[in-house]
Chains A and B, each alone.
Chain A
């Protein structure tokens, strides 16, 4: 129950005055008399029990007090919020995105929402409570837990995952949980548009707990760097999302050595962007930018990038079979078809796939050759055998049928054979040569084909020292050697973060920054960056939608109950009157 007009609390003065009046009321005068024989007899009919006696003696006081307090209470405008959970199932959806870390005076929005959740849970002890965290993969923290203590402990353990909330997924997830029996769903986030609830859910009551506060935010919107012959060139775009001009320091540093390269002042006008560029920086593997400014949201004040940016494009020779192109598309690369000249120019920044063996001699980046354009294939028969190369750790090609093979390169290492003929070879530079056209095999029919393509692309990419850029919690397979000790992740300060058994189960850490992945002897850097959407703070209000019990869907209903109390009040006055009439005025 809540109170509407708390201002009327001043009327509590009246019952207090009555209380004081009774405090100063005449007490019982003690008189010793010969015998109480006759008085006792006259009192006997009214003497029941000490409690009732007290009640009887002070009946008028209690009645007056009750009437006045009731009156004050009615003036406060009590109402019952119209929300009740049918079936009692409560689902808490907790936004764990980075923007939940915004907040004034050290108390983040996340901490506030945690407190709000606890309050809710304490109020619903004994009812089943499910907690769902947001993210690309919404997760259930506790499921239909009725033990309040366990739920509170789980809430305490919740932490921000920095990942974008992907609220629509969490909503769908919660809907599927609540599809049977209905539920009261509480969403703890910073902002959620009402449009998310366009479709009407029966039996689900949504309550959205928004941030409510306007916060000052200055963010590094974009941070980029490129190597030039004159040194590294970096650009920092700073966005001011507040109503006042902001000034601060911007620092560029090399996170590996910890050396500060640039320390500069900046000023951003209210609501505007500022673009700062820095030239002729020393060559470094990674760069970190940080702005030191007084705002309410810290995670977006730093950004880190790796200068060896990841290869994410593949250029496929137009003469190759369409399936090859499809396979490269399937492993998540941006694929373009190119002519011989285009292939050559793209060699530095892309994975080149061709049958033109001349490319093996040109450029300085390895390529993938499928088939040969200078020789003709010879029929072949035999069992396909592969060596223990990392290329085949996940792609088992032993049941692939190959009808014909091109002649092999003599200086190259053979890693797969058909019978005793080389099938797949690798150059010293790292080029991967498949000595058959796709049409000559049934390989595309096997699931090992795209896996092999992915492995090959990863291997070409892994010639760089980085694993690339990730967003928090991003699940992306990386090529690992497959050693027993797996893939270990450390921070730049060599603090252990986690270990993955193999590269395919790699999940990026949650906290933004630069990390080291150690795979046996090799060590690669990768960066975790906040998603662009997490660099903006959106103010959201709190509201409720829907009703659990098939109601009209009124928002934040108020069930006024003050008038109900008027009847007992009237009754109290009548009783008071009667007591007064029977007993007469006290002295």
Chain B
């Protein structure tokens, strides 16, 4: 498959304008003013690319029936199994490593400080077990 990954080279003004654009922030007037005519055309084309991409990626809407069916299925699972972790269960996966169905893990467990490192977390878990 074609991978269009060549690194584009931008002027500093162009880079500032594009970064403001993707962030949804106002474009710095001085940066916009210092763009060349060609760069302005490029920026305009990229803004239109972003616009049409956003509109297209936000389509299609799922049907109400589809959504209702999925919700009913999920609610039935919730009613049957619940969503809570069993009381007293010790998390077996490190907080910021792959765990669970998403593979992305999550932050620290409720009884852990936010900034606890992976190694500290491991030491504490294994320390507990000893």
**Is this pair of chains taken from one and the same complex?**
no
